[in-house]
Amino acid sequence: MYILVADDDPNQRLFIIRELEKEFSGLQVQEIVDENSFEQVLGGDRIDLAILDYQLRWTTGLDLLHRLKQHSPNCPVIMFTDTANQEIAVEAMKSGLDDYILKSPKNYIRLRASARAAVERTQSKQRAALLEVRFQALLEQLSIGVFRATPDHQVIEANQAFLQLLRISSLEDEQINQITSQLSQPTELAPGQKRERELQLTNEGNIVWIRLAETLNSAGGEAVIDGLVEDITEIKHYAARLQTIQEEERQRYTEQLEQEISRRTQELEEANKDLEAFTYSVSHDLREPLRSIRGYAQILLEDFADQLDSTGQGYADRIRENGDRMDQMLQGLLSYNRLSRMTLALQAIDLDIAVRDVLTQLELQLQHAQIIVEAPLFTVIGHYLTVEQVITNLITNAIKFVTPGVQPRIRIWSEPRSEFIRLWIEDNGIGIAPQHRDRIFRIFERLHGVESYPGTGIGLAIVQRSIERMGGRSGVESQVGQGSRFWIELPTFGE
């Protein structure tokens, strides 16, 4: 059995292989770590099972799924990933994914069971396909009726198979005219022209489906129709039954898929609620002892400074500074959590006014910066205070992440994008490497040390969550050393 495992983490690959070896014997495993190793696998003839992570350094599991299905349409594929995204799961399922499993210690056992089920389903389909091929071969060996008739379908001669197929005993049978009249079609055939069709005949209450092939020929100077008649009654019954089974299977699979998606969505929502509650509790409850730590550090510095040497005073300063930073992080975490829980009353917002208000509030911080606003900035639907906070975060970032000694330059403009308005905030800062563009929107993610660029690492996470809460999108275009262009999109306001 040939299995491929695509995951950037060698430990994860090891765990996956270990679990699969418990389930299958005689495994041949190909570990996929880059494009070359994947192309080598595609160059082979056989893949029995694929285990993919979604987020890979060099591509995505969804891309690998599409390419695998092009190469081996029947290959079972399971996505075993940390990425809990319903849209990705649904798209992957529609593309032929067998299962979408979130990585966790308890789900390694589930991975084994899912792999076994996927392989068995594939084997079952292959057996069914083989049976269908054999059945078609058997149909091709059935006896076929041969006849010759006048152009108006008066039968001149026929073999025994023809009589048997039409359920008559001889050409003199009084039922033959009733049956052959159903074969009659007013359409004329050109000489040598072949015409095929399927007909439903009735004889003594029996319904017979036949496939009729007719060719207009000449015999003794007279026009004749040479034809073949094949009984396809069983085929029709089989096709109808197969269609019924397929519809039942499709309905059953759809219902199972909908139930599974609903269940997983509910689990994800419950997990998010638990996480939000936990985050709020931790960030709120930690502030009380933190205030005490900061207070005592301040007392040491103010009331006992003469009893501390320079090293002791340095330690006390570090305690206070780190306490202040921790308090800022907890405040940011509370703000992020509060944003997830609060109800936002949406209204029409003139972006010209919102940007002007923010620039007024930041006037002192921006006194050494060059600001260019290209009006008009259009009107959008959003929550005013939240939009102000988003713009504030982006502008303060723009003046913060600038090479020392360089005057910050900020350009602000907007443009319509279908049913949205995109607001751009461009800077001349240090820029962001392409591989880090997604990271900066994660909570507490930092690309630089606090000593170089102070902050909590939560501002852009708040930007993204805020915009999503208002039905919009956000992103960034940037290159290292060439500045950044952050953008937000909000629904346009229609008069």
145-231 is a CATH 2.40.340.10 domain = no
- For the 347-491 domain, the top CATH level (class) is alpha beta
Distance CA 77, CA 336 (A): 37
pLDDT of residue 450: 45
Q: Where are the domains of the chain?
A: 2-140, 145-231, 237-341, 347-491
3-state secondary structure of 408: coil
Any idea of the CA torsion for 164, 170, 171, 176, to the nearest 10 degrees? -60
pLDDT 10s digit of each residue in the chain, 495 long?
899 999 999 999 999 999 999 999 989 999 999 999 999 988 877 899 999 999 999 999 999 999 999 988 999 999 999 887 889 999 999 999 999 999 998 898 899 999 999 999 999 988 988 887 785 555 445 578 888 888 777 888 887 778 777 777 888 777 676 666 766 554 666 777 777 888 887 766 778 888 888 888 887 778 888 888 888 888 888 888 888 888 888 888 888 888 888 888 887 777 667 666 656 666 566 666 767 777 877 888 888 878 888 888 788 888 877 776 666 666 666 666 666 667 788 999 999 999 999 999 999 989 999 999 998 999 999 999 889 989 998 998 898 888 888 999 999 999 998 899 999 999 998 888 777 677 777 665 555 444 445 555 677 888 888 899 889 999 988 888 888 999 999 999 875
Phi-psi sector, 140: left (phi>0), alpha (psi -120 to 50), beta: alpha
2-140 is a CATH 3.30.1330.20 domain = no
CATH of the structural domain 237-341, one choice from 1.10.287, 1.10.10, 1.10.1740, 1.25.40? 1.10.287
Residue 105 backbone phi and psi in degrees, to 5: -55, -40
Prior bond of 376 cis (ω within 30°): yes
pTM above 0.75, yes or no: no
pLDDT of residue 288: 67
Distance CA 26, CA 49 (A): 13
pLDDT of residue 285: 64
Q: Positive or negative, the Cα torsion across 194, 200, 202, 206?
A: positive
**Angle ∠(12,108,21) on CA atoms, nearest 5:** 80
Query: Is 237-341's fold the same as 347-491's?
Result: no
pLDDT of residue 222: 82
